[in-house]
Structure 1
Amino acid sequence: MQIAAEEHASGGRYLGQVEGISEPAEMTFSRASPTLIIIDHTQVPDSLRGKGVGQALAQHAVEAAREGGWKIIPLCPFMKAQMDRHPEWNDVRKS
């Protein structure tokens, strides 16, 4: 799977693409400040469900936050559930 990032001043999205499947999975975020993002939506098409694509997007967001030095507010129910399951991600979770 390949993950691409699209960013602009007020936010962006991560796109997860699996070879042979045309529709990507998507995780969108808003930038609340230079050091804070709000992950507000995750969409995984039916053709990608059960393949770990959503989990890979969540992991990518956490790694990007660590590299960028920012925190995440998981407004999206999927991302919130993933962060609840992964206490090792608490270093980037805004409390």
Structure 2
Amino acid sequence: MTKENLDIQHERKGDTGRYWALANGGEAELTYKMRGEIMVIDHTYTPVEARGKNIARQLVERAVDDARDQGFRIDPQCPYVDKLFQRRPEWAPLRI
């Protein structure tokens, strides 16, 4: 797998938000909803043409870093994010 250097953007309106980046084939994104101090990550998407370049992983890592920095915990409802949490024991304190 190759790693693509991404310019990750973050947008938040009220209790919903997303991290996104332009990738080959369109936008890759991670979406979430805030429930108090909990970031509920419900979806990740990478365009077919950009898959295999760790783009979704980089979006998740950015969300985790922001959650850690801002004192949020994470509920990884997206199956991909849940799998990453299982593989990264250092993230366990952030998981609800």
TM surpasses 0.5 = yes
Q: Report the CA distance between 1:22 and its aligned residue.
A: 5.2
Q: Report the CA distance between 1:16 and its aligned residue.
A: 2.2
Letter in 2 for 1:72: I
Q: Which residue pairs with 2:3 in the alignment?
A: none
State the SS of the aligned residue for 1:24: strand
Q: Which residue pairs with 1:9 in the alignment?
A: 14
Identity %: 34
Name the Cα RMSD after superposition. Answer: 1.0
Q: Report the CA distance between 1:55 and its aligned residue.
A: 0.7
Report the TM-score, using the length of structure 1 for normalisation: 0.90
Structure 1 segments (4+ residues) deviating >2 Å: none
Report the TM-score, using the length of structure 2 for normalisation: 0.89
Q: Report the CA distance between 1:47 and its aligned residue.
A: 1.2
Give ranges in structure 2 of 5+ residues lacking alignment: 1-5
Contact kept in structure 1, 2:28 and 2:55, CA below 8 Å: yes
Aligned residue pairs total 91
Q: Which residue pairs with 2:83 in the alignment?
A: 81
